[in-house]
Amino acid sequence: MSNLHSQGRSDLAHARHVEAALLDFLRAQSARHEALVIAAIGELRIRIDAADALLAYADDSQSAAIAFRLAAAEAARLAGHVYFELAGRSLPRPLPDSPEPALLTQRRLLGDHYLNGAALADGQGDGLAR
């Protein structure tokens, strides 16, 4: 399993964990009926589902692996943000098991690939494991 897959799976698991904790918290709150709270939960679920769908294609190409990694990181980020916003506290997010390229670098590589047709690196020396 590539480093991107490993970190992505960790972030996706974290997003799911935070979502479950948030749902448990909100079930006891009257705010669960407010439109903005419902929308925030819906947006979080969309991000988790999107990352999950991209995981199915992560082995197909380097661009699919990067897209999955970015989607999983965004789901985890949003989960933490929504939890803090609605519950007033945060849940710890696990640190990556090993170093990986910065998400900004991965986003730039993917954008350059789609916008300019730039080849994605072959994984040698760039930290983008397959």
CATH classification of the domain holding 16: 1.20.140
125 in a structural domain: no
Express each pLDDT in 57-106 by its tens digit.
999 999 999 999 999 999 999 999 999 999 999 999 887 776 778 899 99
11 in a structural domain: yes
59 in a structural domain: yes
pLDDT over 90 (residue 39): yes
Whole-model pTM: value is 0.85
Task: Give me the residue label for tokens 């991000």.
Answer: 47
122 in a structural domain: no
pLDDT interval class at 21 (50, 70, 90): very high
Task: Give the amino acid at 1.
Answer: M
Residues 6+ apart with CB under 8 A from 47: 15, 71, 74, 75, 78, 79
Number of structural domains the chain divides into: 1
Distances (CA, A) of 23 to 18, 70, 87, 123: 9, 24, 10, 39
129 in a structural domain: no
Tokens of 107: 């986003």
54 in a structural domain: yes
pLDDT interval class at 128 (50, 70, 90): very low
Residue 84 CB: number of other CB atoms within 10 A? 14
Q: Which domain holds residue 49?
A: 3-116
35 in a structural domain: yes
